[in-house]
Amino acid sequence: MSFINNWLRSDIQAINAYHVPPASDVIKLDAMESPFALPEDLIGQYLAYLADSELNRYPSPGADQLNQTLRGLMEIPKEFGVLLGNGSDELIQLLALACAADDTILSVEPSFVMYDMIAKFTRLNYKGVALTKDYQLDLALMLSAISEHNPKLIFIAYPNNPTGNTFDREDIEAIIKSTDAMVILDEAYYAYAGDSFIGDIAKYPNLVVLRTVSKIGFAGLRLGLLIGSQETVLELDKLRLPYNINTLTQVSGNFLLKQKTEINKNAAIIVEQRALLLEALAKVSGLTAYPSQANFILFKAPNAQALFDYLKDNGVLIKNLSSAPKLTDCLRVTVGSPEQNQQFMQVVNKFYIPQGGCK
């Protein structure tokens, strides 16, 4: 037995590492990244801004300027506190670190896998409550699971990943009101959705909202934020590692995230493309595409594994969920640029309607 196998906690050894497939020379539609690069005419200005940063110094500890930039971009009322993380993943971890031994994290299934993984890393219990057949909240089941498991944290991704839908707002409010748990509305896809819970923070002291810049064009920055009451943010801030937002992220964010018009324009293009892609997928006989409020579409396909492989062989990488519980035969495609979406659809159509009779 190797040193590390002998040494490592057995529950960590049992975890399957978060898998990121290689993606060179493919149309990458697997990870909800934005297809849009920085506009040419901003590059010079951006580089000058970067050159001005002092990399021999530690970053600004509170990243106050970046905090203001994000408030401006996302229109966050000034009475709320904002806590920044190295991706929203880090903030999920920080919330888990705030829990006591034997506390429980509760979420729905299927949903974002990091809730469960981080519960495992931090030795907390995890309870996933099944969604209904059409991926809605099962309110009765949620309320009974909450009273049975008495969770400390309840994560609800809104819109949900990987299903793409939002849940019934009244159901969510009923959940928030039913519990002493902190309820975290994870709005990673806020830019593509018609609703948000930011406005409800003043109403519910146990509600916080998570956001990220990863899905709006800046996955490489690793920057997420938690929005809550001033008191909540002040206390949680004690768990943040010093200087968790590096200088390059702070400086880049302060330049790039001020391009609000550009960011909103790109989001509008994705929403438009999402409608076209949904329509195109629905036209393929046998496929079921689920409605989406996010920048991706979940769809059920006969022969999902074969379609996934065929797409990959033809240079298009999407996400294969077909062996996950409750997602039999399901695949998830990120909405890309118009050209990428067309190429994706071309391959899908070729798979189901083979030219010349051989596939």
Ligand X SMILES: *Cc1c(COP(=O)(O)O)cnc(C)c1O
Nearest residue (CB) to ligand X, 157 versus 335 = 157
Instruction: Tell me which of 30, 153, 186, 257 binds ligand X, using CB under 6 A.
Output: 186
Which string of x and - marks every residue 112-141 that binds ligand X (by CB under 6 A)?
Answer: x-----------------------------
d(CA 163, CA 303): 19
Determine if 244 is a binding residue for ligand X (CB under 6 A).
no
Size of interface with ligand X, in residues (CB under 6 A): 12
d(CA 87, CA 51): 24
Q: Which stretch binds ligand X (CB under 6 A): 53-61, 83-91, 95-103, 237-245?
A: 83-91
Determine if 34 is a binding residue for ligand X (CB under 6 A).
no
Nearest residue (CB) to ligand X, 97 versus 284 = 97
Q: How far is CA 223 from CA 130, 142, 227, 250, 267, in A?
A: 30, 31, 13, 9, 18
Nearest residue (CB) to ligand X, 118 versus 311 = 118
Residue among 115, 161, 136, 192 at smallest CA distance from 319? 161
Determine if 105 is a binding residue for ligand X (CB under 6 A).
no
**Closest residue by beta carbon to ligand X:** 87
**Cα first-last separation, the chain:** 46
Q: Minimum Å distance from CB 216 to ligand X? A: 10
Q: Minimum Å distance from CB 154 to ligand X? A: 14
Instruction: Specify whether the CB–CB gap between 263 and 73 falls below 8 A.
Output: yes
Nearest residue (CB) to ligand X, 212 versus 340 = 212
Instruction: Tell me which of 70, 89, 201, 317 binds ligand X, using CB under 6 A.
Output: 89
Determine if 224 is a binding residue for ligand X (CB under 6 A).
yes
Instruction: Tell me which of 35, 81, 87, 110 binds ligand X, using CB under 6 A.
Output: 87
d(CA 212, CA 248): 17
Instruction: Tell me which of 212, 247, 292, 334 binds ligand X, using CB under 6 A.
Output: 212
Q: Minimum Å distance from CB 221 to ligand X? A: 9
Q: Minimum Å distance from CB 234 to ligand X? A: 22
119 SS3 class: helix
Determine if 188 is a binding residue for ligand X (CB under 6 A).
yes
Determine if 161 is a binding residue for ligand X (CB under 6 A).
yes
Determine if 214 is a binding residue for ligand X (CB under 6 A).
yes
d(CA 226, CA 239): 13
10 Å Cβ neighbour count for 256?
Answer: 20
Instruction: Specify whether the CB–CB gap between 253 and 223 falls below 8 A.
Output: yes
The number of CA neighbours under 13 Å toward the Cβ of 225 is 25
d(CA 108, CA 45): 44
Nearest residue (CB) to ligand X, 226 versus 278 = 226
Ranges of H-type helices in the chain: 3-7, 10-13, 40-51, 64-74, 88-97, 113-121, 139-149, 169-178, 230-236, 247-256, 260-283, 304-313, 338-352
Q: Minimum Å distance from CB 117 to ligand X? A: 12
Give, as one character, the DSSP assignment of residue 284: S
Q: Minimum Å distance from CB 45 to ligand X? A: 26
Instruction: Tell me which of 67, 88, 104, 229 binds ligand X, using CB under 6 A.
Output: 88
Q: Which positions lie near ligand X, rule CB under 6 A? A: 32, 87-89, 112, 157, 161, 186, 188, 212, 214, 224
